[in-house]
Amino acid sequence: MPGVGDRQPTWLIVGEAPGEEEDRQGEPFVGRAGHLLDRMLTALALRRGQGVYIANVLKCRPPRNRNPQPQEIAQCTPYLWRQIALLQPRIILALGRFAAQTLLAEGGCLPPQELAATPLGRLRGRVFTARLGTRTVPVVVSYHPAYLLRNPADKAKAWADLCLAAQTLESSVLSSTG
């Protein structure tokens, strides 16, 4: 399941892997976590499909929803990177540990060993610049919506991350239009 949405998106949202419901429907983030993601997008006046593309690091569902394994991530990363090159998003929101580690390592933002040792709470709340060939794209990391369903107290931090991403986008528009 490669992902869905606007083929010329401003926003690219990257999650972990399709779950059972996503596998059945062929669309990312359609379960409870997806509903929360939709509410977060609505709060930013965004809608999936309109300026937004949603993808996952893994393109197939890991059996029994287990965590992705390193070799699975390594196999899927070239597809994600090709998607990013084709979609040319203006900002990427990495949701959860696996999306953050994959995008920040592959984008040359932090060395993989440092990433593996850094908790998500210390990767969020800042703007990274990922290298994509000759281009760069800003990446903001936040909590995965499934984590937020279990830890609603962190929703305020996730909202701050979304606002940071929106502000980053706004300032890049202002600087490109002079």
Binding site for ligand URA (CB under 6 A): 15-19, 22, 28-29, 33, 56, 146
Closest CA to 13 of 53, 68, 61, 59: 53
What does the chain come to in residues? 178
Residue nearest to ligand URA (CB): 15
> What is the closest distance, in whole angstroms, from the C-beta atom of residue 131 to ligand URA in the complex?
24
Nearer to ligand URA, 12 or 33 (CB): 33
Nearer to ligand URA, 28 or 138 (CB): 28
> What is the closest distance, in whole angstroms, from the C-beta atom of residue 59 to ligand URA in the complex?
10
> What is the closest distance, in whole angstroms, from the C-beta atom of residue 16 to ligand URA in the complex?
3
Burial 40-74 (b: 16+ CB within 10 A, else e): bbeeeebebeebbbbbbbbbebeeeeeebeeebbe
